[in-house]
Amino acid sequence: DAKTTQPPSMDCAEGRAANLPCNHSTISGNEYVYWYRQIHSQGPQYIIHGLKNNETNEMASLIITEDRKSSTLILPHATLRDTAVYYCIVLVNYGGATNKLIFGTGTLLAVQP
Amino acid sequence: SQTIHQWPATLVQPVGSPLSLECTVEGTSNPNLYWYRQAAGRGLQLLFYSVGIGQISSEVPQNLSASRPQDRQFILSSKKLLLSDSGFYLCAGGRGELFFGEGSRLTVL
């Protein structure tokens, strides 16, 4: 079973920041938080991951609360092409032998023009 | 960078026919490999994963099987397809962050 809870859907205006929340209250100390997104009929695309510090890359920022029980993915300037289902996943054994991405239902982000 | 190749992209098969989907990985050695299935309008379900040649773990009971004959090759098979096997099949690979192929859409009639 997925260990994360996400809202089923969100809307965002084009050009504005999209903030996607995720709850992972049972996360273990060695579990990372990963974000993927899936545009319709395509394979999931890796976005970002983190352990406890906030992370930023060219696609997004990841804010993890101090107690690590929740996180927020931030797309700073959403475009229509960011419309997708966004999955928050917790994953143990980074780089190890049993990385199993267990996908929940995700959040459908609809970017509106 | 890592690339996942997956084929065929689309196939239509009759009930009871065999299935073979193939996946290869470029850009990394000794990757963990995975097969996922996504039914229409549903989430991704992990079917099989492999941590090395000949090592396969099944996550759900079904009439599908997987094999890993080479380090960067992962094959999903069935001897006799069922209607319920229809779906979007995704291969993924990597260590740490996973990369996904573009998927194979299977329709069983």
Between the alpha carbon of residue B83 and those of residues A22, B8, B14, B44, B55, the distances in Å are 35, 19, 8, 18, 28
Strand partners, A32: A91
Q: How far is A13 from chain B (nearest CA, A)?
A: 25
Residue A63 is predicted with a pLDDT of: 97
Phi, psi of A71 (to 5 degrees): -150, 165
Nearest CA in chain B to A34: B97
Q: Which two tokens stand for residue A23?
A: 């709850």
Rounded-to-integer distance, Cα A49 and Cα A36, Å? 9
DSSP state of B54: T
Tell me if chain A has a CB within 8 Å of the CB of B51. Answer: yes
What is the widest separation between alpha-carbon atoms in chain B?
39
Burial label, A58 (beta-carbon count in 10 A; 0-12, 13-18, 19+): exposed
Rounded-to-integer distance, Cα B60 and Cα B38, Å? 14
Minimal Cβ distance to B102: which of A42, A98, A104: A42
A91, pLDDT greater than 90? no
Minimal Cβ distance to A44: which of B45, B59, B100: B100
Rounded-to-integer distance, Cα B12 and Cα A22, Å? 37
Q: Residue B43 and residue A105: Cβ atoms within 8 Å?
A: yes
Mean pLDDT value across residues B16-40: 92
Q: Residue A102 and residue B32: Cβ atoms within 8 Å?
A: no
- Return all residues near A106 (Cβ < 8 A) that are at least 6 apart: A6, A38, A85, A86, A87, A88, B43
Q: Which two tokens stand for residue B75?
A: 């094959």
Query: For residue range A3-14, what is the model confidence (pLDDT) as tens digits?
Result: 899 999 999 999
Minimal Cβ distance to B96: which of A41, A42, A95: A95
Q: Residue B92 and residue A101: Cβ atoms within 8 Å?
A: yes
Residue A90 is predicted with a pLDDT of: 86
Q: Which two tokens stand for residue A20?
A: 């996607």
Mean pLDDT value across residues A32-52: 91
Query: For residue range B74-108, what is the model confidence (pLDDT) as tens digits?
Result: 999 999 999 999 999 999 998 767 889 999 999 99
Rounded-to-integer distance, Cα A14 and Cα A36, Å? 20
| A49 close to A32: Cβ distance less than 8 angstroms | yes
